[in-house]
Structure 1
Amino acid sequence: MTEKKEMLLIEKTQWEAIVSKVRDLTLKVSILKDKCVAQPQYYNNKEMCKVLGVEERLIQKYREQGLLAYSKIGDKYWYSQQDVLDFLEKTRHPAF
């Protein structure tokens, strides 16, 4: 059985404008994708408390027990998104 195909005629200038807009959108999506992937988010202690919903003393306890990875610059502690994800995975208890 043959499908019925429809054709649409548009002017060359209209076609070129559509192609140009698609190229622009493709470039913008590529730039946004690179920004999202290339810039890891880091949290300080106060932000970590908000992210995990716990007190600062508990964050310190997690660091001391080796449960939560971190970076330390001077007297400031920094936690990457990957540190947070790894911590959550290590402390995850599956449903039974």
Structure 2
Amino acid sequence: MEVIAIQKSALEGMKNELKALLELTENATRKYRTVFKEEKWLDNQEVCLMMNITKRTLQTYKEKGLLPYSKLNRKNYYKLADVRALLEAGHPYNTNGNGSTDE
């Protein structure tokens, strides 16, 4: 085991910086916390697996406004309720055997 000795003032400084970083993180995520707690959100891969569609078909659904989404840090998220509603309504397009769509 290696032991490293540092001054108490340096340790206190690191503690204060870590506390400040934690506070910044809490403040940055606070506004999203209620959104994600109220509703289950899915990413692209989860939606494709749930609906048994390709990423391109998912893109078409987004472009046509058939599946609402939110973007957070360049990543798309979909409400589980919206995905279920689209599934219950039936796929807007028929998918052929290779996963592409027949429009």
Q: Normalized against structure 2, the TM-score is what? A: 0.47
Larger Rg, first or second structure (1 or 2): 1
Kindly indicate which of the two structures has a greater share of residues assigned to strand.
2
